[in-house]
Each structure stands twice: as structure tokens, then as C-alpha cells.
Structure 1
Amino acid sequence: MINEKIKAAIQKYSDELTELRRRFHREPELSWEEFKTTAFVCEYLESLGISFRKTEPTGVIATIEGGKPGKTVALRADMDALTVEELNKDLPYTSQVEGKMHACGHDAHTAMLLIAAKALSEIKDELPGNVRLVFQPAEEVAAGANEMVKQGAMEGVDNVFGIHIWSQMPTGKVSCSLGPSFASADLFTVKFTGRGGHGAMPHDCIDTAIVASSFVVNVQSVVSRTIDPQQPAVLTIGKMVVGTRFNVIAENAVIEGTIRCFDPKTRDHIEEQLKHYADQVAAIYGAAAEVDYIRGTQAVINDEYSAKLVQTTAAAAFEDDVLYVEKPTMGGEDFSFYLDHAPGSFALVGSGNPDKDTEWAHHHGKFNIDEDALAVGAELYAQYAWAYLNE
């Protein structure tokens, strides 16, 4: 199952792997703005003799054609950064763009897949099938995967595999759960309209500060009292804007939040109940409610066969104790959209190391990775492709 040439190549290019990751980290680009990253990926693939095409407006789809007939496995890495100010100012590779940084590890994903591609290209004549390389933009806005699929990323693909660096796991550990991995992630906006007026004359008004507050307090019972406790779900209110001045009763209130769960029926139920609660709370106070519910990512549900293949591949490529059981997260991942077109799995590679201060949460300004994890991720990409094509 394990290809020793791949292992040797990853070790040989480990310094280059680190330098690639640092290059991407220094020059972060936001969703749909990954122009420099896309150009670099294209140049790198061209230097390896790997056929590719640019997607619009950003992103790259490439294919390593094996020397023998067989299946096609896709490997995906995301490339976009976040509007987060980097707080690690003393790093030699700190972000050079104010207000932007790779606070989620996508710089590592891109670098790992490039080196995996380099290793695979060196043994392409031995490959019984093809390896599709998907360098995806706009994961952070949950739009890139769908667009890559539309532009042909999954055409002819039999299986798909992705990796996420994970600061909440010890460096080098690998987790790939059978079944649920990442939750669906939806967003909603609730607008309440009442009747404003002078703060000294509440009897002439319909106060949306009261309406909105009542909604925020009561809507949590959708999860706590209408959903099976064995079906995990989260309803979070992240933003509430009410009123304009201390002595003016608010005529309008806007609430924004997110819903996370794993079960499609639970997802449908929460959406329905959210709208019901908004209408009923508004009616109690004589206000009006308008709900805009946007479905974001679907739940990432790992295929059993693929997840087991990741586990056996990781155990064979590294040490037996490399496997780690990380509970499913309520975080969202648009990798889910690739799974609509082929079975596959999504693995986590640990990068948390207290001695290197790399246990900060994803999306935090001090987020960083233990770069010792890079070789694990790069080899896992390549060894999984090899193992799947040889199954």
C-alpha cells in the first residue's frame, strides 16, 4: 500500500515544502482574490510538466496522468485567507498584508498539495490511473467548491480526498472519522419592523429592542426543546443591531446568526422553526418580521470505505499511534459539495504544539502551525492517491 518512493520524495522536498507554506503565508489573498496564488500554482505545475487549466476567476484544476489505465482520484486544497490581523509580528514569515492573514491553514494545504503533486509526478508511469489536483478558491465564503465543480473539477472522478490542518490536535496525528466530520453551516438574518418614537412615550410605539430581545432569548428553545438531544445542533446569534439613539425607541432591529447540524431533517426543522418563532414573537408585540435564510455548506459525511482507507494508509505510512479520534466539529467546510459527485473523505492533520505556541484556535490572530505537520499532510495526500488507485 505504501510507496517508498513517495516517502523519500516528501522527505527530500521537506525544506521546499516549508518555504512554500511561508511564501503563501506572507502574501495572503482573500476569497475570489487569489490571483497571485493561482499564478504561482500554475507556474509550479508547469515546471513539473503537469497539465492544468486556470478556473475563473481564480483556482486551478490539474491532472497527473498515470502510465497505466485505472480510476481517477481527486485531491483538494483550498487557498484563501481571512480578514484577520496577524498578531504574530515576530515571525520571519508574518503576513505582509495589513488586516489579512492565513488564520486557518489554507497556506499549508496549498503547499502540501504542491509537494504531493511533485512526488506523484515522479512516479506517474507507475500510477494505475489519474490524480486530479484541485486548488480551490473561496472556501471561507462557502462558494469555491460549488464553482470548481461547475468548472469541471469532478468530471470523471471516482473518489475525492481532502485534508485540513488542525491546531486542536497534536502535531502529526491524523483523524478521519467514519460518518459525520463537519457540520452544515447556514446563515440567517431576521429583520423586525415596529414603530419608533420618543423614548419618553413608549405607549405610542412598538419597540423592536423588546421584540428582538425576546426573540434572542426564546429562539434557543428550538434546539433545546424541539430537537432530539441525540441530534447535535447549534443556533448562534452573532450580531444584533437595534436603534439609533439613547432616547429614541427603535423602529428597526436586525439580527444575524448561524445554524450548525449534521442531520438534513434537523436542518429543515430548524429553518422552519426559526421562521415560526420570528413571526410569532413579532405578532405578540404588533411588529412585523422578515427572515432571510441562506443555506451554506452541507455536512461533511465521510464515506466508510474512504475513511477506513485513510486510516490504514496513515497507519502504514507513519507509526501505528498516528491515528487520533477527533470528535466531529460544528465548523463548516464546503468540501461537502465534492461528496455530492463522488464518495470520499476529509481528514484532519494535527499541528498543535504547546512548545511552539501553535494551539491557538483557527481564525484567531495568533493562529500558526507547527511546520513539522506539513510533511505528514503532503505524504498523506500522495500515499492516499497511490493506495486508492492500487485498490
Structure 2
Amino acid sequence: MSNSKITEIFNHVHDNAELSNEEYKTTEYIYNFLKSAGFEPVKFKNITGLYCDVGNWSGDYPLIGMRADIDALYQEVDGKLQANHSCGHDSHISMVIGAMLKIKDHKALVTRGVRFIFQPAEEVGTGALDVLKEGVIEPLDYMFGIHVRPIEEAADGYLSPSIEHGSAGSFEFKIVGNDAHGARPHLNDNAIEVGADIVNMLSKIHINPMVPSSAKMTKFMAGSKSLNIIPGSAECGIDVRAQTNEAMTELKAGVRNILSSIEELYDVKIEDLKESSIVASESNEEAIEVFRSAILDTVGEDYLLDPIVTSGGDDFHNYTVQYPELKGAMIGLGCDLTPGLHHPDMTFNRERMFTGAEVLYQTILNVPAE
């Protein structure tokens, strides 16, 4: 396998980023690339994305899933709003295909059956759940993923056998009331003041202090060009995070209570409420051990890290939460990533993708036979 192929894939996907659930060209590119390389990819029926089976599916060996997320973020880059791969999904695609190409070059060594899954919509937290509905996860015994890590978590060339993500979620809603004249503040409830009260009340949610958590307003839009109007309505968003799924359940209940109380305290309604959430990791020790052995076999003990604990989230963990018998974990790849994930100018050492592909390939070889 030539590393130039990994670079070729990365450059194409990076330059042609697409938003969640809109990854049509990305799906076509991966599909056509794999077909031309001699694989038999299959597009998902109801969503973007695809999967491809490789290796031995006829024996009694464990069946392995390996996932790459394929969507990008929407953000301003050099003054232009656009789809942008600032979370590293372009590199994940490249590394997973790199592992596939290495399998193709060494078929005799691969006795396991492997299902490579190119999943859409990770950034909006729905992609893994949609893939589950496609029915391609049920036969699997293991589920592996990979994610590039910021330099604060992993220095260049270091790898962690698991990323222990927290649970992340959001509330999006409207405060709906009536506008009033600036000279008559008694005739309405100022949506900006209502929003300020929500912010203050969020800080009063108390859950177990031993579990990291946060709830904060991340979107608030009220008012207009007419500064003599007291706005009665606003569009709002709240980001919530907790390191465990149990703590997230508590935190979200607290937010719901606040929004319900706001309706009672003020002459406003909370409307168009939308909730979303990504579960916290529930990694499997056997899967972590497979990753650990693969890291040792490829880069050695000097570059092996402990599991990374982070408040960030990833919908990969829906696979193992929804299917507790599935042995899953996500590997963390240190690659001199700066200034940070989701920064519009995120950069990393692209040669580290070659390391990632090698470790993923070794992971497949190291899965126990029984």
C-alpha cells in the first residue's frame, strides 16, 4: 500500500467537504474509489454513507466493525461560510481506507471478517443511530473507531487505546412573547432579561460535583434595528455536557425544569423546543486491550498513552450503548493538532495518518480468534 493513496484520499475529501446528511459527493467518491481498488462497497439504503465487507466472513472468527465519520462542520473560513473539515473526519476516512488497502495487500494474514462503515452525520449526533437502523451492526462482535486528538491531549506520534468521551447535548427553543414600546416596559417581559434569568438559573443546577458537567447558553438572538422596541421574543440555544450518561439525565431534567419555570414566572411561552444528545462512552475493556496491543506492536510502549478522558462527545458510542454486547472502543491519535478541534484553521501532521492506518490494520490482526 502506498502512503500516497492515503494522501490522495485526504486531499480530495478535505477539498470537497460536505455537511451532515448532505455527504452525497463524499459517498460517491468513497464508493467509486473502493470499487476501482477491487472492493465491493454497498451504499446505505435510506441515508448517505456506505459500508464494505472485507476478509473472511465464512468461518467462526469474530466479526469486526471499523467506522469512519464522513461529514464536515459549517463555519466561517477566511471570511466565507462553508463546509469545513475542522474535526478531522477527512483524516479518519483516509486512515480507514488505508487499513483496507493494507488488508488487500496482505489478504492471507487477515482471517477475520471486517465491515468498514463510512458513517454520515456525526456532527449532529444522529449518524450512528441512523446506521443502526440500516441493520448492518447486528452481526458484529467488535466495533472500532479512531479520532485525531488536539495537542493538549496527545503529543505527536502518541496513541491512546480509548477516548472516554462525555455525554453532550443541546436544547434549542424560542422565547415567545409580545414586543412593547421602549417607554412602556411594564407592558411586556423583556426577552433579553428572561434570557439572562435562564443563564443565571442554569448555574444553579447542582449534580454530583465529582462528575464534570456544564450547562450554558450558546445562542441568543433578540431585538432588531429599532432600538426603541423591547423585544418579547428570542431564539435560544443551550449546550449541556456531563461525563456520564447518568449525570446527563439529571442535567437535562434540570434544564427542562428551568424552562417550565420560566413560563410560569413570566408572560412568555417556550416553543419549538428541540433536544439532541450524544451518549457518553461505555468502552469495552477487551476492545481497549486489542487497541493497546496494536499500539505496542506498531509504535511501541514509549508512545502508548493511558485512556484519554474528555468532555467532548462523539456519536460513535451510540453503537455500544445501544448494543451493550458489542465490544467497542475508539483510539486517540496524537498528531500535533493545533489550534484545536473545530477551529476553522485546524491543522495537524498529515504524515501521522500513515501511523493511524497501520495501527488500525494491526488492530484487525490482533482481535482474538475466539
TM over 0.5: yes
1:171 corresponds to = 156
1:115 aligns with 2:98: yes
1:29 corresponds to = 18
1:60 aligns with 2:43: no
2:220 corresponds to = 240
CA displacement at 1:369 relative to structure 2: 1.7
The answer on whether the counterparts of 1:45 and 1:51 sit within 8 Å (CA) in structure 2 is: yes
Query: In structure 2, what is the Cα distance between the partners aligned to 1:100 and 1:143?
Result: 18
1:230 corresponds to = 210
Query: In structure 1, what is the Cα distance between the partners aligned to 2:32 and 2:74?
Result: 27
Query: In structure 2, what is the Cα distance between the partners aligned to 1:280 and 1:67?
Result: 56
1:387 corresponds to = 366
Unpaired runs of 5+ residues, structure 2, are: none
CA displacement at 1:115 relative to structure 2: 1.3
Task: Output aligned runs, 1:272-291, within 5 Å.
Answer: 272-290=253-271
Task: Output aligned runs, 1:145-164, within 5 Å.
Answer: 145-164=128-147
> Secondary structure of the residue that 2:92 maps to in structure 1?
helix
CA displacement at 1:112 relative to structure 2: 0.8
The answer on whether the counterparts of 2:166 and 2:243 sit within 8 Å (CA) in structure 1 is: yes
CA displacement at 1:118 relative to structure 2: 0.9
Amino acid of the structure 2 residue aligned with 1:82:
L
Query: In structure 1, what is the Cα distance between the partners aligned to 2:306 and 2:180?
Result: 56
The answer on whether the counterparts of 1:24 and 1:107 sit within 8 Å (CA) in structure 2 is: yes
CA displacement at 1:40 relative to structure 2: 2.2
1:376 corresponds to = 355
The answer on whether the counterparts of 1:59 and 1:137 sit within 8 Å (CA) in structure 2 is: yes
Amino acid of the structure 1 residue aligned with 2:218:
G
The answer on whether the counterparts of 2:161 and 2:295 sit within 8 Å (CA) in structure 1 is: no
1:183 corresponds to = 166
CA displacement at 1:103 relative to structure 2: 1.0
Query: In structure 2, what is the Cα distance between the partners aligned to 1:98 and 1:320?
Result: 43
Amino acid of the structure 2 residue aligned with 1:131:
V
Change (3 A) 1:286 1:379: same
CA displacement at 1:98 relative to structure 2: 6.7
Change (3 A) 1:44 1:196: closer
CA displacement at 1:272 relative to structure 2: 1.7
Query: In structure 2, what is the Cα distance between the partners aligned to 1:84 and 1:207?
Result: 31
> Secondary structure of the residue that 1:258 maps to in structure 2?
strand
2:114 corresponds to = 131
1:44 corresponds to = 33
Query: In structure 1, what is the Cα distance between the partners aligned to 2:90 and 2:187?
Result: 56
Size of the aligned set, in residue pairs, is: 362
The answer on whether the counterparts of 1:63 and 1:132 sit within 8 Å (CA) in structure 2 is: yes
Query: In structure 1, what is the Cα distance between the partners aligned to 2:13 and 2:237?
Result: 32
RMSD value, Cα: 2.3
> Secondary structure of the residue that 2:241 maps to in structure 1?
strand
> Secondary structure of the residue that 1:379 maps to in structure 2?
helix
**Aligned match of 2:284 in 278, 303, 308?**
303
**Aligned match of 1:350 in 316, 334, 344?**
334
2:303 corresponds to = 322
Task: Output aligned runs, 1:4-23, within 5 Å.
Answer: 9=1, 13-23=2-12
After superposition, the C-alpha distances for 1:175-223 in whole angstroms (9 at most, x for unaligned) are 134xx7112221102433344311111123222222221111221111x
**Aligned match of 2:65 in 37, 61, 74?**
74
Amino acid of the structure 1 residue aligned with 2:281:
V
The answer on whether the counterparts of 2:72 and 2:86 sit within 8 Å (CA) in structure 1 is: yes
Change (3 A) 1:289 1:86: closer
Unpaired runs of 5+ residues, structure 1, are: 1-8, 90-96, 353-357
Amino acid of the structure 2 residue aligned with 1:330:
S
Query: In structure 2, what is the Cα distance between the partners aligned to 1:229 and 1:142?
Result: 26
Query: In structure 2, what is the Cα distance between the partners aligned to 1:37 and 1:192?
Result: 38
> Secondary structure of the residue that 1:100 maps to in structure 2?
strand
Change (3 A) 1:320 1:239: same
TM-score (norm 1): 0.86
Amino acid of the structure 2 residue aligned with 1:230:
M
CA displacement at 1:259 relative to structure 2: 1.0
> Secondary structure of the residue that 2:354 maps to in structure 1?
helix
Amino acid of the structure 1 residue aligned with 2:310:
T
> Secondary structure of the residue that 2:72 maps to in structure 1?
coil
The answer on whether the counterparts of 1:185 and 1:259 sit within 8 Å (CA) in structure 2 is: yes
1:94 corresponds to = none
Change (3 A) 1:193 1:101: closer
The answer on whether the counterparts of 1:76 and 1:136 sit within 8 Å (CA) in structure 2 is: yes
Change (3 A) 1:287 1:159: same
Query: In structure 1, what is the Cα distance between the partners aligned to 2:13 and 2:139?
Result: 30
Change (3 A) 1:43 1:296: same
The answer on whether the counterparts of 2:202 and 2:216 sit within 8 Å (CA) in structure 1 is: no
